[in-house]
Amino acid sequence: MSNAIHHLAATTRRVADRVGQVIAECNEATRRITTLTGTPDLYRAPDTYTEFLIRTAGTLRREPERTTLVRGRADKC
């Protein structure tokens, strides 16, 4: 009986960990969408230095390493 309880606990932990990973990924996607949609004219060069400073005032995050993307996971940076 004890073995069955340990197996159930391990399975429950794995499911909970995976649910946590999915929620974290959803939060990151939401943050990224908000950042991209809240930035005016991303693909247009700024007209003034002041506009440049306004665009880059937020938190800048580096992109994941290529090897991370190749493995199929984009871990948090």
Is the pLDDT confidence value at 20 over 70? yes
Question: Residue 40: what residue type?
Answer: P
Residue 40's contacts (CB-CB under 8 Å, 6 or more residues apart) are: 55
Most confident of 23-27, 30-34, 69-73: 23-27
Tell me the whole-structure pTM to 2 decimals: 0.47
Residue positions counted in the chain: 77
Which pLDDT tens digit goes with each residue over 28-53? 998 888 877 766 666 778 889 988 88
Confidence at residue 60, expressed as pLDDT on a 0 to 100 scale? 62
pLDDT at res. 65: 72
Average pLDDT over residues 4-17: 94
Task: List, for residues 50-69, the tens digit of each pLDDT value.
Answer: 888 887 766 666 666 777 66
Q: Chain centroid to CA 61: how far?
A: 10
